[in-house]
Homo-oligomer: A and B are copies of this chain.
Amino acid sequence: MKDEKPPTRIQKKNREVILDAALEVFSQEGFRGATLDRIAKVAGLSKPNLLYYFSSKDAIHEALLRGLLSTWLDPLRAIDPSGDPVEEIMGYVRRKLALARDYPRESRLFAIEILQGAPRIAPVLSGELRELVDETAGVIDGWAAAGRIAPVDPRHLIFSIWALTQHYSDFDVQIRAVLGDGDPFAGAEIHLEAVFRRILGGGPSLSGVN
């Protein structure tokens, strides 16, 4: 039943080069806006050579998304239901922010895909992602019910984490334009640390507010 040949050294390298170039282009232009010529030029290969390694533009894009999705969902899986609630959630925030800082192209590719209606990953969103969120939401709900964090809609809390962390990579240009020089992520780290600690609450004295 095995008819797969083991990939050559050169195959492995060129596939990587192509996917890296495709990530660069797709994440800036979207699927329709990206062109094979551009990807080929960035990869330093000829266009027919691209199509020797990937059968079509769609195939490149699909391979890119497939490789991205697991990386993107992993941090959510790393939340430990038996850990300290605040620290577990703060850890997730930090992991997500690090992802946004270290893999801005991946973040943008994902963002542009969703913005354009996510036609190619819709099944994953309403399948794997939804299940994972439901699961995590249950954990967070348990923490809130036990009074270990302030009451909060767990799903919208997760959305907030996604929004606040991805914003720093996806809207990078806007943020740098407003802030001027310097690394926005330094300020972001401090800010999000404070913000989420306040959201999750320090304990009992929260309901007496205002």
* Interface residues in A4-35 (C-beta closer than 8 Å to B): 28-33
Among B32, B167, B199, the residue within 8 A (CB) of A159 is: B167
Contacting A32 at CB < 8 Å: which of B29, B164, B166, B190? B29
Query: Residue on B with the closest CB to A163?
Result: B167
A160 to chain B, nearest CB (A): 6
Question: A125-B178, A177-B122, A208-B205 known; A116 and B199 CB under 8 Å?
Answer: no
Number of identical protomers: 2
Q: Chain A: how many interface residues by the 8 Å CB criterion?
A: 60
Assuming the contacts A29-B32, A111-B115, A112-B112, asked whether A179 and B195 have C-beta atoms less than 8 A apart, the reply is no
Among the 9-residue stretches A40-48, A58-66, A149-157, the one with 4 or more Cβ atoms under 8 Å from chain B is A149-157
**What would be 23 A-B contacts, judged by CB atoms less than 8 Å apart?**
A28-B115, A29-B32, A108-B115, A111-B111, A111-B115, A111-B170, A114-B174, A115-B171, A122-B177, A125-B173, A125-B177, A129-B174, A153-B190, A155-B187, A159-B175, A159-B178, A160-B167, A162-B167, A163-B163, A163-B164, A197-B210, A198-B201, A202-B210
